[in-house]
Amino acid sequence: MNARVENRYDRLAAALELLRNGYRTRIVQAATGLPAGAIRKLCSDVLGKPATPGQLPEASSVTTSWGRYADAALFAGIYHEIGGDDIYRYVDPYLVLHAHSIYQIVREQMDRMPTRRGDERPTVMDINHAWVIARDLRAKTAVLAVCSNLSCRYHNLLVVGSHKQLACALCHAPAQPFSQGSLRPIVV
């Protein structure tokens, strides 16, 4: 097999794996370089369903409520712990997938815990929302922060333009953006 055919086979295999894990066509196209038509055909022929239509979710959709905000912060913290500073340079869809899998496990455990009366947990964030958070961290339209309460060390996520204040979702202490390569807050 020549290198060109092998490369196309690898890209098709990658596209199929990403689609099976719920990624939208636009993300699969960006990750594999395959044309949108080929990806839609792959969905139809191999997965037996049409490609998911529509725009990618906006980053602001992850901060519509405190529960969604905390969920986004949870994913962002896991994503940073796994990916380190590389998350600020590029978005690896497999790294997002790995962090999202861990996020789902944590959420499953959290969903088993009792809540205060009247509190509702948001639905589990899907892989496409997770990718948007990763994209926005790379583009610096979202910022990771860490709680100023040293005993808490909870990761927080601030989406630029969000109406949410930069405060810890757990203990409500002020959160401060931290520099890349360090969990020490930036003094502002």
- For residues 95 and 167, state if they share a domain: yes
> Do 8 and 81 fall within a single domain?
no
The CA R_g of the chain, rounded to the nearest whole Å, is 18
- What is the distance of C-alpha 174 from the center of its chain? 23
Looking at residue 147, its pLDDT comes to 72
Q: How many helices (H) and strands (E) does the chain have?
A: 6, 3
Task: Let me know whether 43 and 87 are in one domain.
Answer: no
Total structural domains within the chain: 2
**Judgement on whether residues 36 and 127 belong to the same structural domain of the protein:** no
| Inter-residue contact 151 to 127 (CB < 8 Å) | no
- Predicted local distance difference test score (pLDDT) of residue 148: 73
Residue 182 in domain:
no
Q: Tell me what pLDDT residue 17 has.
A: 92
Q: State the pLDDT at residue 23.
A: 92
Task: Output the pLDDT for position 186.
Answer: 37
Helix (H) or strand (E) holding 55: none
- Pair (42, 135) in one structural domain: no
Q: Is residue 183 part of a domain?
A: no
141, two tokens:
């339209």
Could you tell me if 21 and 15 are in contact, meaning their C-beta atoms sit under 8 angstroms apart? no
What is the block-wise mean pLDDT of the chain (188 residues), using blocks of 10 residues?
A: 67 92 91 91 86 76 74 88 92 96 91 69 86 90 76 64 59 64 41
Do residues 29 and 96 share a domain? no
Element (H, E) at 134: helix 127-139
Domain, as residue range, for 116: 59-177
Ramachandran quadrant class, 33 (left: phi over 0; alpha: psi -120 to 50; beta: rest) = left
How far is Cα 67 from Cα 89, in angstroms, rounded to an integer? Answer: 28
Residues 166 and 120 in one domain: yes
- Paired with 174 in beta bridges are 167
Q: Please tell me whether residues 139 and 79 are part of one structural domain.
A: yes
95 with 143, same domain: the answer is: yes
